[in-house]
Amino acid sequence: MTRPAHPHKEIEQSLKHAEKRGWRVKTGGSHAWGKIYCPYNDAECRCGEFCIACVWSTPRNPGNHARALKRVVDNCVTRGQQVSTKDPE
């Protein structure tokens, strides 16, 4: 089953970016449009603080929120370690 698209295109692009990197997007919740979950869920990865991020439905600035979500995904410490061990450079 596919998830519903986010109403803001910038945020939807960030969600697709997260999904390509293995993050799970779960819609629904009380205040947020949904949440994104790290596939590694490593407690040592920045104390597990960034393994879950809220996706707001109506952020004040959708572009900034989209960049923040992308930054959370791209700065995943566990993913960075796995990528660096695969590259022989």
Which sequence spans correspond to the domains of the chain?
9-86
Would you tell me how many other CB atoms lie within 10 Å of the CB of residue 17? 15
With H, G, I as helix, E, B as strand and everything else as coil, classify residue 30: coil
The pTM (predicted TM-score) of the whole model is 0.81
Contacts for 47 with CB less than 8 Å, ≥ 6 apart: none
Which residues fall within 8 angstroms of residue 44, CB to CB, at 6 or more apart? 77
Q: What is the pLDDT of residue 58?
A: 92
CA distances from 51 to 7, 18, 38, 68 (A): 24, 12, 5, 14
pLDDT digit of tens for each residue in the chain (89 aa)? Answer: 589 999 999 999 999 999 999 999 999 877 899 999 998 877 666 555 668 899 999 999 999 999 999 999 998 776 656 665 665 55
